[in-house]
Structure 1
Amino acid sequence: MTTSVTPPTVAAPRRIAALALPALVVLAAEPLYVLVDTAVAGHLDRVALAALAVGGTVLTLIAWLGTVLAYGITGRAARRFGSGDRSAAVAEGVQASWLAFGVGLLVALGMQLGAGPLADLLAGPGEVAEAAERWLRVAALGAPGLLLAAAGNGWLRGVQDTRRPLWFVLGPNLLSALLCPVLVYPVGWGLTGSAVANAFAQTVAGGLFVAALISERVALRPRPAVLRQQLMLSRDLLVRGVAFQASFLSATAVAARFGAASVGAHQIAVQLWFLTALLLDALAIAGQALVGAALGAGDAAGARALARRLALLGAACGVTFAVLIAVGAGVVPGLFSSDARVREQAMVAWPWLVALQPLGGVVFALDGVLIGAGDVRYLRNLTIVAAFGGFLPAIWLTYAFDLGLGGIWAGLTLFVLLRLVALLLRLRSGGWAVVGAVRG
Structure 2
Amino acid sequence: MSQPTIATGRVASPRRIAALALPALVVLAAEPLYVLVDTAVVGHLGRVPLAAVAVGGTVMTLTAWLGTVVAYGTTGRAARRFGAGDRAAAVAEGVQASWSALGVGLAVVVGMQFGGGALAGALAGGGDVAVAAAEWLRIAAFGTPGLLLAAAGNGWLRGVQDTRRPLLFVVGPNVLSAVLCPVLVYPVGLGLIGSAVANVIAQTLSGALFAAALVAERVALRPRPRIIGQQLVLSRDLLIRGVAFQASFLSATAVAARFGAATVGAHQIAVQLWFFAALVLDALAIAAQALVGAALGGGDDATARALARRIGRLGAICGTAFAVLAAAGAGVVPTWFSSDRAVHEQALVAWPWFAAMLPLAGVVFALDGVLIGAGDIRYLRNLTVAGALGGFLPAIWLAYALDLGLGGIWAGLMLFTVIRLIGLLLRLRSGAWAVTGAVRGEERLPA
Same fold by TM-score greater than 0.5:
yes
Preserved contact between residue 12 and residue 306 of structure 2 (Cα < 8 Å): no
Structure 2 partner of 1:38: 39
Question: What is the Cα-based RMSD across aligned positions, in Å?
Answer: 0.7
Structure 2: distance between partners of 1:269 and 1:196: 33
Preserved contact between residue 299 and residue 436 of structure 2 (Cα < 8 Å): yes
Preserved contact between residue 287 and residue 368 of structure 1 (Cα < 8 Å): yes
Q: Secondary structure at the match of 1:218?
A: coil
For residues 27-83 of structure 1, give each alpha carbon's deviation from its aligned partner in whole angstroms, at most 9, with x where no partner exists. Answer: 000000000000000000000000000001111100000000000000000000000
Partner amino acid for 1:54? Answer: V
Structure 1 partner of 2:279: 278
Structure 2: distance between partners of 1:270 and 1:356: 12
Preserved contact between residue 146 and residue 205 of structure 1 (Cα < 8 Å): yes
Gaps of 5+ in 1: none
For residues 389-423 of structure 1, give each alpha carbon's deviation from its aligned partner in whole angstroms, at most 9, with x where no partner exists. Answer: 10000011011111000000000000000000000
Instruction: Rate the CA distance shift 1:3–1:93 in 2: closer, same or farther, 3 A.
Output: farther
The answer to whether 1:7 aligns with 2:6 is yes
Preserved contact between residue 78 and residue 160 of structure 2 (Cα < 8 Å): yes
Structure 2 partner of 1:70: 71
Partner amino acid for 2:6? Answer: P
Structure 1 residue 11: deviation in Å? Answer: 2.2
Preserved contact between residue 5 and residue 84 of structure 1 (Cα < 8 Å): yes
Would you say how many aligned residue pairs link Structure 1 and Structure 2?
439
For residues 187-220 of structure 1, give each alpha carbon's deviation from its aligned partner in whole angstroms, at most 9, with x where no partner exists. Answer: 1000000000001100000000000000000000
Structure 2 partner of 1:350: 351
For residues 348-401 of structure 1, give each alpha carbon's deviation from its aligned partner in whole angstroms, at most 9, with x where no partner exists. Answer: 000000001000000000000000000000000000000011000001101111
Preserved contact between residue 4 and residue 298 of structure 2 (Cα < 8 Å): no
Structure 1 residue 4: deviation in Å? Answer: 3.6
Structure 1 residue 3: deviation in Å? Answer: 5.5
Structure 1 residue 8: deviation in Å? Answer: 2.0
For residues 158-186 of structure 1, give each alpha carbon's deviation from its aligned partner in whole angstroms, at most 9, with x where no partner exists. Answer: 00000000000000000000000000001
Matches within 5 A, 1:412-423: 412-423=413-424
Matches within 5 A, 1:186-335: 186-335=187-336
Structure 2: distance between partners of 1:225 and 1:128: 44
The answer to whether 1:133 aligns with 2:129 is no
Partner amino acid for 2:356? Answer: A
Preserved contact between residue 3 and residue 87 of structure 1 (Cα < 8 Å): no
TM-score, length-scaled by structure 2: 0.98
Structure 2 partner of 1:156: 157
Preserved contact between residue 139 and residue 199 of structure 1 (Cα < 8 Å): yes
Preserved contact between residue 105 and residue 144 of structure 2 (Cα < 8 Å): yes
Partner amino acid for 2:260? Answer: G
Q: Secondary structure at the match of 1:138?
A: helix
Structure 1 residue 330: deviation in Å? Answer: 1.1
Preserved contact between residue 12 and residue 310 of structure 2 (Cα < 8 Å): no
State the percentage of identical aligned residues: 78
Q: Secondary structure at the match of 1:329?
A: coil
Structure 2: distance between partners of 1:131 and 1:45: 12
The answer to whether 1:405 aligns with 2:410 is no
Preserved contact between residue 92 and residue 155 of structure 1 (Cα < 8 Å): yes
Structure 1 partner of 2:144: 143
Q: Secondary structure at the match of 2:330?
A: helix
Gaps of 5+ in 2: 442-447
Q: Secondary structure at the match of 1:189?
A: coil
Structure 2: distance between partners of 1:328 and 1:407: 22
Preserved contact between residue 112 and residue 138 of structure 2 (Cα < 8 Å): yes
Structure 1 residue 298: deviation in Å? Answer: 0.2
Structure 2: distance between partners of 1:345 and 1:392: 21
Structure 1: distance between partners of 2:248 and 2:164: 35
Structure 2: distance between partners of 1:117 and 1:11: 51
Structure 2 partner of 1:96: 97
Q: Secondary structure at the match of 1:221?
A: coil
Q: Secondary structure at the match of 1:330?
A: coil
Structure 2: distance between partners of 1:145 and 1:3: 32
Preserved contact between residue 84 and residue 297 of structure 1 (Cα < 8 Å): yes
The answer to whether 1:430 aligns with 2:413 is no
Partner amino acid for 1:397? Answer: L
Structure 1: distance between partners of 2:314 and 2:177: 35
Structure 2 partner of 1:80: 81
Structure 2: distance between partners of 1:61 and 1:121: 16
TM-score, length-scaled by structure 1: 0.99
Q: Secondary structure at the match of 1:146?
A: helix
Preserved contact between residue 141 and residue 199 of structure 1 (Cα < 8 Å): yes
Structure 1 partner of 2:118: 117
Preserved contact between residue 4 and residue 86 of structure 1 (Cα < 8 Å): no
